[in-house]
Structure formats: C-alpha cells, structure tokens
Amino acid sequence: MIRQDFPKGMSLDDISPSQVQATQDRLNQLSRKQQGYCTPQQNFEAEARRVRRMAQ
C-alpha cells in the first residue's frame, strides 16, 4: 500500500521522514475489513477501554 504514494522504481532514499509519517498516518486511518471495518486507532481505543474496565 505504501507504493500508492511512492511508486515502484522511485528511490526510497529520496523520501523525507515527514513524507513517510504522512503516508503512515493515512494508512493507519483506513478502515480494515479484517477488523470489522474499524480503523486500527478505533480498535486500540476499544481494547484500552476493555483492559481498564477489567483492571478496576
């Protein structure tokens, strides 16, 4: 999926850390079928809430 932003043949040496971070943020905000059409952030927050409830 990273190749959507950085096409094959493009040197990854020429990419700045901020460009990589922007691509990472975009990909992490995509919903995933495997995760019930939730984003990784939504799943993380739900799991954190579950763990906090169990710890009480």
Q: Which of 28, 25, 55 is nearest to 42 (CA)?
A: 28
Share of the chain above pLDDT 90, in %: 62
Scored b (16 or more CB within 10 A) or e, 3-19 reads eeeeeeeeeeeeeeeee
pLDDT classification of 19: cutoffs 50, 70, 90? very high
Q: What is the mean pLDDT of residues 19-48?
A: 92
Q: Would you state the pLDDT for residue 40? A: 87
**Position 35 confidence tier, pLDDT thresholds 50, 70, 90:** confident
Give mean pLDDT, residues 10-28: 92
What pLDDT, on a 0 to 100 scale, did the predictor assign at position 39? 92
